[in-house]
Structure 1
Amino acid sequence: MVTVVERCRVAPPDAAAELSLPLTFFDMFWLDFHPIQRLLFYEFPCSESHFIHTIIPNIKTSVARALQHFLPLAGNFIYPSGLQMPQIQFNNGDSVSVVFAESDDDFSYLTANHARDARKFYPYLPELSPIINLSSCRLIPILAVQVTLFPNIGVSIGLTNHHVVGDASSTVSFLKSWAEICKLGGGVECLDSKFLPLYDRCLIKDPNGDIAKKYWNQLRKDVSYDSNHQNDHENKFRATFVMKEANIQKLKNLVANSEEPNNSCHHISTFTVTSAYVWTCLAKSSASIGEDDGMEYFIFAADFRARMNPPLPANYFGNCVGPFFAKLPRSRLIEKDGFAVTVKLIGEVIYRGLYQNKEEVLKDVEDWPSQLGAVEWDRTLGMAGSPRFDVYDADFGWGKPKKFESISIDHDGCMSLCKSRDSEKDLEIGLSLPKIKMNAFATIFRDGLAIV
């Protein structure tokens, strides 16, 4: 059971300057995407007294100091009712909802890798504040935070944010900055400069000059903002699978030595072999439980910061990722050579999109919404996260997180991917599936690695 201890709102210091950010076409692409939800669990034997008198004040102070440099997160997404373009805006007085709670639930169950009921995690996630309806626009809050005490055992940090404000590179930089400020008790002076955000939207060159407006005209009619997607986790179970460095190397060798025709794979990488292995295991799981055959899809995003002309700084805050698509019939995925074929396919998609012609990485940007619209979402595996963003670095003064959970994967059929807590060269894969499919996947995943 989870009991709320305190609800409050935390604002940046009074001296914070107001800020308005137009939405680029990268931002606009995520207009109707569900909120991003993350949970971090920390093993930290904290008493109720220490939580109330030390942790809660420290959290409030550190959130305020972090927001001083990440103002868009404290603001609102301005959704106009007329013909104006939307924007993100921070005004003095804007703030973030922060909830403090206490739980007597089983901490070890929540932080395990085995399949767990997805419903168990939602009491630790904050809900975004209600939308404010004005005559000229809607004000849609961007970020909410919840900190929950498991007395004498641990603490969890839950975050919910709208994707329109920024991609994982941006929001994880906020998380790490906030954690560093909380740990060291300082302000911006304690932060590595690489975490300080850059907001200059002029750095994003619209390829045709009007892509953002076209996206707005296409997508605005579909935006519903069912902000918390409370029913998506029904009948789902969450599990984490660790891909060891040795297994990754064996999978790479398997592809390199395969007899797949024209085996000139452009991109045999950790990403391609891990993605292909999970995708083929899922296809086999679907087949084993009698799901209908058909086309299967894999969608992932790539960071375009270094690929823009000129390249963007790594600390650019906002969205700067675009989608990549692969598809194969399930019957092909589950064949004996299906894994090698799938690695090659994903590698070719990456090569064509990012490396074949570096001057035209945005050549099909106008078609991104229609490409997404052609996908059968109930037959799609997406990718959330990246090993490039080491969430296990987020230390609030309680040590390294014991467990990270990407809760958003309950909503969209994605797999989550991040560095392992215990080894930078191992990977953690998160999935949320119906119980029968999760059981099938776990067996196929384990048995497949055993014979590689």
Structure 2
Amino acid sequence: MEFWRVKEISKWFVKPKYSVSESKKPYHLGPLDLAMLSFHYIQNGLLFSKPSHLNGHEFSIDSFLESLKESLSHTLIHFYPLAGQLVIQVDEAKHECCVFVDCNKGPGAQFSHATALDITVADVLSPNNDIPLIVASFFYYNEPEVAVNYDGHFKPLLSVQVTELLDGVFIACSINHAIADGTAYWHFWNVWSEIHRAKDKGYLIPVSRLPIHNRWFPDGCVLPITLPFTRPEEFIRRFDTPQLREKVFHFSSDSINTIRAKANKESTGSSMMISTFQALSALVWRSIVRANCLPHDQILYNYMFASNRHRLNPPLPQNYFGTCIKGITTKTTAGELLKNNLGWAALLLHQSVVSLTDKAVREFVKEWLESPYCYHHRDLHDYNTVAMEHSPRFNMYGNEFGIGKPIAVRGGRGNKAVGVVNAYPGYQGTGSVDLEICLPPDSMRALQTDQEFMAAVSSPPKLIL
């Protein structure tokens, strides 16, 4: 890692501009939140060009940082749990513990300023779209190992690091994954951006989509939920990201529509039931399996992490703040996946997605409450798995902080493993998608020579820096 090239200049802690009455109560976590305690924080960042002038004055990083801290303090009024810390209460006699958020505990959200003034925007983007190692050092919680969500009882639940490059600014945000999923994570970003833009213009600070903090619990659930553990080693396992090659592949809207049409024609003949993302996921799954050179009898797993908000009955609001996701598992063998066509694989994924219903979610939660556990990376990720994470539907490029539109989205080391694929919207929008794929070097080289895969990959749009 090239952490030595990134120098921390200063660090502050930011609290909500003012407290709200709800923040004085324990913030209980639901089953889907607690299951994430052994995962890493969500880590994503936005890359911006550094302007020469801002608001009619020469650009000052110090002034920019002050404005970011000020707008963050206003944002935390609405996202007040992120300024607190986890509390672990243990009952040795019953051999159980409960975990919740004390919204007033701890110093607040962490905000830091770092510099990497020998690094340029072009270095981060890389001519071949490989993600350079130094990007990991733009995020907090990476040394000496990547933090897990359980660490939120002594680490901030939210950490922002602003890294000044020679000609750019990288704003990185790490949020505890037991508090927020991808939908909630990008909702936070969107509100922060909205408040920052309003403050820059001197307006009152409206928020178009307020987060909803009423946690979802199934009927009859007794609070607080207790876990049958008293020591962290009983349910927390640490996982450090292996040495991987991470690369961004771009797919234009035309290319994706072609993939979808092919998948639907091969699977159903005429109906367009298979979505663009299911078709793209099927293409990636088959290509990665070929690149990993797996034996034909190898059992494979595809995980697509999906929001349950609209699947529950009654549905939860899109603004529900919390972790409300479930992995959709599709299982087959390498031989079956590769001897059949793209449509067959896409239909298999489609059927798995359709099966995630209100009934399926409630049955999963009921079983979890009867025997609670945490997800562990080592159990989920290996050469025989592909995990489709994040979503091109999230509003990433709409996050502006007065210095123009972001020019790239990049992830940190959190939750990276063999076969993890993060899906982002393409820079130019219009239905394009960028996939950040994590593979061992040999597998990545094989993927780049895979004819079916590379035929679908598009040239990335040229950025005006």
- The verdict on a shared fold, with TM-score over 0.5 as the criterion, is yes
Match of 1:146 in 2: 161
Q: Once the two structures are aligned, what percentage of the paired residues are identical?
A: 23
User: Is the contact made by 1:42 and 1:155 (CA closer than 8 Å) also made in structure 2?
Assistant: yes
CA distance in 1, matches of 2:420, 2:254: 24
User: Is the contact made by 2:80 and 2:103 (CA closer than 8 Å) also made in structure 1?
Assistant: yes
One-letter code aligned to 2:290: K
Q: Flag the structure with higher helix content.
A: 1
Change (3 A) 1:222 1:273: farther
Question: 1:160 Cα deviation (Å)?
Answer: 1.4
Spell out, residue by residue over 1:258-283, the C-alpha distance to the aligned partner (whole angstroms, 9 max, x if none): 2x6x8798940012101111111101
Change (3 A) 1:12 1:35: same
Spell out, residue by residue over 1:135-156, the C-alpha distance to the aligned partner (whole angstroms, 9 max, x if none): xx954431111001113x1100
The aligned runs of 1:33-112 (5 Å cut-off) are 33-46=39-52, 50-82=59-91, 83-91=96-104, 94-103=107-116, 104-112=118-126
Match of 1:431 in 2: 437
Question: 1:223 Cα deviation (Å)?
Answer: 3.9
Comparing 207-216 and 72-81, the one that deviates more = 207-216
User: Is the contact made by 1:4 and 1:100 (CA closer than 8 Å) also made in structure 2?
Assistant: yes
Indicate yes or no: 2:250 matched with 1:250.
no
Matched length: 430
Indicate yes or no: 2:133 matched with 1:124.
no
Q: Pick the aligned partner of 1:31 from 15, 31, 37.
A: 37
Name structure 1 gaps, 5 residues minimum.
131-136
CA distance in 1, matches of 2:65, 2:446: 43
User: Is the contact made by 1:199 and 1:316 (CA closer than 8 Å) also made in structure 2?
Assistant: yes
Q: Pick the aligned partner of 2:410 from 379, 392, 405.
A: 405
Question: 1:393 Cα deviation (Å)?
Answer: 1.0
User: Is the contact made by 1:326 and 1:349 (CA closer than 8 Å) also made in structure 2?
Assistant: yes
CA distance in 2, matches of 1:94, 1:265: 55
User: Secondary structure of the equivalent of 1:438?
Assistant: helix
CA distance in 2, matches of 1:93, 1:375: 32
CA distance in 2, matches of 1:257, 1:351: 19
Match of 1:133 in 2: none
Match of 1:322 in 2: 326
CA distance in 2, matches of 1:338, 1:116: 29
User: Secondary structure of the equivalent of 1:127?
Assistant: coil
Name structure 2 gaps, 5 residues minimum.
145-151, 458-465
One-letter code aligned to 1:86: V
User: Is the contact made by 1:182 and 1:396 (CA closer than 8 Å) also made in structure 2?
Assistant: yes
Change (3 A) 1:208 1:32: farther
CA distance in 2, matches of 1:344, 1:211: 40
Indicate yes or no: 2:448 matched with 1:442.
yes
The aligned runs of 1:303-382 (5 Å cut-off) are 303-335=307-339, 337-354=340-357, 358-359=358-359, 361-367=361-367, 377-378=381-382, 379-382=384-387
User: In angstroms, what is the RMSD of aligned CA positions?
Assistant: 3.4
CA distance in 1, matches of 2:52, 2:28: 43
Spell out, residue by residue over 1:238-290, the C-alpha distance to the aligned partner (whole angstroms, 9 max, x if none): 211112222222222222322x6x87989400121011111111011111xx7
Question: 1:205 Cα deviation (Å)?
Answer: 3.5
User: Secondary structure of the equivalent of 1:116?
Assistant: coil
Comparing 95-104 and 6-15, the one that deviates more = 6-15
Q: Which runs of 4+ in 1 moved over 6 A?
A: 262-266, 368-374
User: Is the contact made by 1:28 and 1:216 (CA closer than 8 Å) also made in structure 2?
Assistant: no
User: Is the contact made by 2:418 and 2:438 (CA closer than 8 Å) also made in structure 1?
Assistant: no
User: Secondary structure of the equivalent of 1:423?
Assistant: coil
User: Secondary structure of the equivalent of 2:289?
Assistant: helix
User: Is the contact made by 1:301 and 1:324 (CA closer than 8 Å) also made in structure 2?
Assistant: yes
One-letter code aligned to 1:224: I
CA distance in 2, matches of 1:264, 1:323: 29
Match of 1:388 in 2: 393
Indicate yes or no: 2:223 matched with 1:171.
no
Question: 1:113 Cα deviation (Å)?
Answer: 6.9
Match of 1:159 in 2: 173
One-letter code aligned to 1:322: K
User: Is the contact made by 2:97 and 2:230 (CA closer than 8 Å) also made in structure 1?
Assistant: no
CA distance in 2, matches of 1:212, 1:438: 45
CA distance in 1, matches of 2:170, 2:353: 36
Spell out, residue by residue over 1:17-72, the C-alpha distance to the aligned partner (whole angstroms, 9 max, x if none): 43421111121121211111112101123589833431121121111111121111
User: Secondary structure of the equivalent of 2:60?
Assistant: helix
Spell out, residue by residue over 1:111-156, the C-alpha distance to the aligned partner (whole angstroms, 9 max, x if none): 24735355221221122899xxxxxx954431111001113x1100
CA distance in 1, matches of 2:375, 2:162: 35
Match of 1:283 in 2: 289
Match of 1:198 in 2: 212
CA distance in 2, matches of 1:184, 1:426: 29
Match of 2:248 in 1: 240
Question: 1:330 Cα deviation (Å)?
Answer: 1.3
Indicate yes or no: 2:221 matched with 1:209.
yes
One-letter code aligned to 1:105: I
Spell out, residue by residue over 1:180-221, the C-alpha distance to the aligned partner (whole angstroms, 9 max, x if none): 222332699434421x111112xx232563698476659965
